[in-house]
């Protein structure tokens, strides 16, 4: 899985800015590609799995996506922030593959009801500071949120993205992201006291 591309990464490479890593990648630096791959593969895999609900499709499409990035690196736009570009581009890349494989059911990437995230108990427990939250009921509460709120919650708390990055990925403005997160957390707090989960 791309291991043959990699040269040993210097530790300070990981501390470099998004702009520098992306610029280095565009110039063909394999260390920059390695840093990019290792940093974003797990996050994009989990995100893709929420969309496709299929491990094989997610794995294959993500490898193809990174290969596409590397092969077309010279034509990529300059970036100061990598995460929004990768998440949104991979989302579109994956949806095209899903549409190609399922000609009877075409998905529209612009459709805000497209992605229906489902939280598992394992994901939730990984984010908890204590065991006092109910492992059985919490997924039901999270999964009962509106779809856009679930996607915002997932990107914020499970992918570690900032509100301005989420805004670009979801193609909405910054304030809309804040509103989605606020409404989601307010709903959750009304059902169960899980404030620490979102700290």
pLDDT digit string (tens) for 110-151? 444 456 677 665 565 555 443 444 555 667 778 888 989 999
Domain span at residue 40 reads 14-101
CATH number, domain of 18, equals 1.10.1740.10
Q: Is residue 173 part of a domain?
A: yes
Nearest to 28 by CA among 67, 65, 66, 73: 73
And the tokens for 48?
Answer: 């893709």
pTM passes above 0.85 = no
Neighbours of 58 (CB within 10 A): 22
Residues 97 and 142 in one domain: no
Residues 88 and 127 in one domain: no
Name the least confident of 80-84, 122-126, 163-167, 193-197.
193-197
Residues 162 and 191 in one domain: yes
Nearest to 188 by CA among 127, 147, 126, 144: 144
């Amino acid at each position: 899985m791309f291991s043959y591309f990699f040269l040993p990464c210097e530790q300070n490479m990981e501390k470099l800015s998004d702009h520098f890593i992306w610029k280095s990648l565009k110039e063909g630096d394999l260390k920059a590609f390695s840093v990019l791959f290792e940093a974003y593969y797990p996050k994009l895999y989990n995100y893709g799995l929420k969309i496709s609900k299929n491990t094989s499709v997610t794995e294959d499409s993500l490898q193809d996506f990174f290969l596409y990035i590397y092969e077309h690196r010279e034509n990529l736009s300059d970036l100061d922030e990598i995460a929004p570009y990768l998440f949104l581009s991979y989302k579109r890349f994956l949806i095209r593959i899903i549409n190609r494989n399922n000609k009877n059911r075409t998905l529209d990437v612009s459709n805000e009801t497209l992605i229906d995230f489902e939280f598992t108990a394992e994901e939730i427990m990984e984010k908890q500071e204590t065991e006092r939250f109910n492992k059985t009921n919490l997924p039901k509460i999270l999964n009962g949120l509106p779809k856009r709120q679930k996607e915002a919650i997932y990107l914020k708390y499970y992918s570690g993205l900032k509100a301005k990055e989420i805004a670009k990925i979801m193609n909405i403005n910054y304030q809309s992201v804040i509103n989605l997160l606020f409404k989601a957390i307010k709903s959750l707090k009304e059902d169960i006291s899980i404030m620490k989960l979102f700290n």
